[in-house]
Amino acid sequence: MSITVKDLTHIYSPGQPQEQVALDQISFRIEDGTFAGLIGHTGSGKSTLVQHLNGLLKPTSGTILLGDTDITKAGTASRQARLKTGLVFQYPEYQLFEETVAKDVAFGPNNLGLSPEETDARVREALQLVGLDYEELKNVSPFELSGGQKRRVAIAGVIAMKPEILILDEPTAGLNPKAHRDILDMVRGIHESTGNITLMVSHNMNDIARMCDQVLVMDHGRLLMDGSPEEVFRRGEELKEVGLALPDSMEIARQIIEGGLALEGTFLTMEETADAIAAALQAK
């Protein structure tokens, strides 16, 4: 299911002294099956934007199409479409509350009024997608798991709703390097097995460069850039002006080029940068 946002504006406290334009005439399109990234400084409007995509917030003006359905309109079709967007908040493990892992993951599907069999099937499938063993963990309290595992259970709770669009807000915040990589591999695995849109909000430029097909850059409520990682990270100076940065692999490549060694490539990963350096040195 594609996302089409047109002229989306959101004003907090309109008409009040503290009136604030959080989103200012945003338009973009994300095609079905895309792995998209959303970056921007704190307060740039990222959270406000993603909360519109599952109907938690209503726009002041503008439209949001999920597939062909305008979710800003009232009505059943709109409600159904909003349920197709699964939103994983920052530190989702703080939202775990049930006595067992299985019950926690089942909470959403139960609320959809599914049969117990269907719910159970979804719980199994969701836990498998996040890389956890259903038999081993179904009766364990989620609070006894490690930080990385808790986060997986929380994500499974969203996956079990079978969203056609999965939005993750900073899924790797506060994780150690290995857990960080593991969660990203898991997200990539889910993306590949469902073939849906994944939208990842992140402050980590390395992850965005490595994972995404399309990158949206927000600044002060406006959409500053929309393009492939190559296109977006080519504009390093502008990114730095709005509080962002280049991925390490590109920042190091930039400094090497500045130091006088001509490199060619896109440098989206450290391996690409290493290949470019090796090639440049061999050519000498």
Partner 1 sequence: MSAFIEVDDLKFDYIKQDGTSLRAVDGISFRIERGSFTAIIGQNGSGKSTLAKNINALLLPTEGRILVDGLDTADPASLWEIRRRVAMVFQNPDNQIVSSIVEDDIAFGPENLGVDPAEIRQRVRFALKDVEMEEYRRKAPHLLSGGQKQRIAIAGAVAMEPQCIVFDEPTAMLDPRGRSEVLKVIERLHDKGITTILITHFMEEAARADHVIVMNKGRLEMDGTPTEIFSRQDRLKELSLDVPAPIYLARILGERGVDLPPGIETTEELVRCLCQLQ
Stretches 57-65, 73-81, 104-112, 170-178: which one binds partner 1 (CB under 8 A)? Answer: 170-178
For partner 1, the closer of residues 124 and 220 by Cβ is 220
Among 81, 102, 205, 216, binds partner 1 (CB under 8 A): 205
Q: Which residues within the stretch 12-51 sit at the binding site for partner 1 (CB under 8 A)?
A: 40-43
Q: Are 232 and 268 in contact (CB under 8 A)?
A: no
Q: DSSP states of 167-185 as a string?
A: EEESTTTT--HHHHHHHHH
Residue with structure tokens 């063993």? 133
| Number of amino acids touching partner 1 (CB under 8 A) | 42
Closest contact distance (angstroms) between CB of 89 and partner 1 is 13
Among 174, 189, 193, 264, binds partner 1 (CB under 8 A): 174
For partner 1, the closer of residues 114 and 245 by Cβ is 245
Q: Is 182 exposed, middle or buried (0-12, 13-18, 19+ CB in 10 A)?
A: middle
User: Longest C-alpha distance within the chain, in Å?
Assistant: 68
CB-based contacts of 234: which residues, under 8 Å, 6+ apart? Answer: none
Q: Is 15 exposed, middle or buried (0-12, 13-18, 19+ CB in 10 A)?
A: exposed
Closest contact distance (angstroms) between CB of 261 and partner 1 is 5
Per CB under 8 A, does 177 bind partner 1?
Answer: yes
Per CB under 8 A, does 61 bind partner 1?
Answer: no
For residue 2, what are its two tokens? 């594609």
Per CB under 8 A, does 271 bind partner 1?
Answer: yes
Among 58, 146, 189, 193, binds partner 1 (CB under 8 A): 146
CB-based contacts of 255: which residues, under 8 Å, 6+ apart? Answer: none
Per CB under 8 A, does 260 bind partner 1?
Answer: yes
Which ranges in 175-261 belong to alpha helices (H)? Answer: 177-194, 205-211, 229-233, 236-241, 248-258
Per CB under 8 A, does 176 bind partner 1?
Answer: yes
Residue with structure tokens 């338009």? 27
For partner 1, the closer of residues 95 and 110 by Cβ is 95
Question: What is the contact surface with partner 1 in residues (CB under 8 A)?
Answer: 40-43, 90, 146-148, 170, 173-180, 203, 205, 243-245, 248-249, 251-252, 255-256, 258-261, 270-271, 273-275, 277-278, 280-281, 284
